Amino acid sequence: MPNNINRRGFIKTTAAAGTLAMAGGLARAAEKKATTPKLGANERINTAIIGIRSQGRNHIAYQTATPGVQIVTLCDIDENLFADRVKLVPGGKPKIETDMRRVFDDKDVDCVVIAMPNHWHALATIWACQAGKDVYVEKPTTYCISEGPKMMAAAKKYNRVVQNGTHLRMQTGREEGIKKLREGLIGDIYMARAFIYNPRKGIGNKADCPAPKGVNYDGWQGPARVRPFNPNRFHYEWHWNWEYGNGEIGNNGPHMNDLLIQGLDKQEILPVKISSHGGRFVWNDQGETPNVQTTNYTYGDGTVATLEISNLHITKEMGTSEGVIFYGSKGHMVINLRGEYQTVIGGKPGPKGAGGGAHRELARNFYDVVKSRKTEDLKAPLKYGHTGAALCHLGNIAYRLGQTIDFDPKTETCPGNDAANALLTRKYRKPYSMPKEV
């Protein structure tokens, strides 16, 4: 095991001067990186994975499936994970880091994969861009709506390739189904309904306690407010706490919302009116987010869309428990989580297609663009990730306020609604503040 496995201090809360120095160093690194030559077609791409527990563990396989890509660094605030994850990395022993700043400072690292909890996605992406690294960031792209424009600004300013982890965009059946929607197979589309029926169990109730040995809990909290350690607010269970996660709608909702907006051809347009209802039923636990939630979106042209989630039961719509149904003047089409699609035209079965393609193909697309620098070839660029995540956040805002909210897609604000506007962003804990300018 590398000697630096015991190094801790993952972005510890230090003096503001130290943080400013870090930001300046990252910016200078970015300026220097921007002048370096493009990677050659056969040159090895060195990648670091930041966050290696859950999806990060899977990314060890996803990223190395692309020829010419080598994972050179694993980074996490939980040292207990390293012994197992190092064994999964082909081609030798990767470096071990508990501090992402060292990853960003490492000139041997070309790209980073960010598989940290939601509340870290934006800041880590921006810091990586400032350090001159290309980024593959897991979904949801953002923790809150205001972070999306900041991330896109950083990618543009520092000329970085940033791919969002909505891997379902690589499914061949989905691509074929979308093409048929564009060709008018089901006629004029007037409505779409996304659904996620994903049974889970409650998380129960646990007492606050000291963080496990080897875990830098302050670094894990990052921009979130300080709270005592609790297992029900830590590994994976953070999804169900508003401080760090966005509930099921923010966990799997980005996939279905991304499919929904692609099918409706509204990938850069947000709705003008949003309502959301539900609750946390049956379970008497410490989770805060709803386990049943229905969100309605109305667009400026009158098109309506719905996203339904349930963790309490499983049912199927046209043979699938997760997918999107598009309704048109001639019939309807369902595209499921696997990318398979089927249609009903004029009351009779119509064309259908198989799925295929996902994580590894999206990673390959990312590295192809890292080499070519043709960001227009990205299959899941930031702007789509921002819109898909924003739909989730808007649903949660409407749910938490218990009201229908009006939204201006041009300004990405809720006119005249101070309570809703306050939830478009978050209070960042110093020194992990979102910069006014990236």
CATH of the domain at 87: 3.40.50.720
Q: Are residues 140 and 246 in the same domain?
A: no
Residue 303's contacts (CB-CB under 8 Å, 6 or more residues apart) are 189, 190, 191, 192, 264, 266
Q: Are residues 398 and 412 in the same domain?
A: yes
Could you give the 3-state DSSP secondary structure of residue 302?
Answer: coil
Which residue blocks in 232-279 are alpha helix, DSSP H? 247-251, 253-263
Domain assignment present for residue 430? The answer is no
Cα 71 to Cα 47: distance, rounded to the nearest angstrom: 5
Q: Are residues 350 and 310 in the same domain?
A: yes
Q: Are residues 332 and 377 in the same domain?
A: no
Give the residue among 110, 71, 60, 112 at the shortest CA–CA distance from 94.
71
Domain assignment present for residue 291? The answer is yes
Per the DSSP assignment, residues forming a β-bridge with 80 are none
Q: Are residues 370 and 414 in the same domain?
A: no
Domain assignment present for residue 258? The answer is yes
Q: Are residues 339 and 206 in the same domain?
A: yes
User: Structurally, how many domains does the chain consist of?
Assistant: 2
Provide the residue range defining the domain that includes 8.
3-168+361-381
Q: Are residues 288 and 414 in the same domain?
A: yes
Question: What is the pLDDT tens value at each position of the chain, 438 positions in all?
Answer: 333 333 333 333 333 333 333 444 444 444 444 434 355 555 899 999 999 998 999 999 999 889 999 999 999 999 999 999 999 998 778 999 999 999 999 999 999 999 999 999 999 999 999 999 999 999 999 999 999 999 999 999 999 999 999 989 999 999 999 999 999 999 999 999 999 999 999 999 999 999 999 999 999 999 999 999 999 999 999 999 999 999 999 999 999 999 999 999 999 999 999 999 999 999 999 999 999 999 999 999 999 999 999 999 888 888 889 999 999 999 999 999 989 999 999 999 999 999 887 889 999 999 999 999 999 999 999 999 999 999 999 999 999 999 999 999 999 999 999 999 999 999 999 999 999 999
Q: Are residues 147 and 199 in the same domain?
A: no
Look up the CATH number of the domain holding residue 395.
3.30.360.10
Q: Are residues 134 and 173 in the same domain?
A: no
Domain assignment present for residue 427? The answer is no
Domain assignment present for residue 437? The answer is no
Domain assignment present for residue 432? The answer is no
Cα 59 to Cα 363: distance, rounded to the nearest angstrom: 9
Q: Are residues 17 and 162 in the same domain?
A: yes
Could you give the 3-state DSSP secondary structure of residue 349?
Answer: strand
Question: Could you tell me the two tokens for 331?
Answer: 């019939």
Per the DSSP assignment, residues forming a β-bridge with 45 are 69
Q: Are residues 154 and 282 in the same domain?
A: no
What local confidence, expressed as pLDDT, does residue 246 receive?
A: 98
Q: Is the pTM of the predicted complex or chain greater than 0.85?
A: yes
Domain assignment present for residue 210? The answer is yes
Domain assignment present for residue 374? The answer is yes
Question: Residues 329-366: pLDDT tens digits?
Answer: 999 999 999 899 999 999 999 999 998 878 899 999 99
Residue 348's contacts (CB-CB under 8 Å, 6 or more residues apart) are none
What local confidence, expressed as pLDDT, does residue 24 receive?
A: 40
Q: Are residues 73 and 179 in the same domain?
A: no
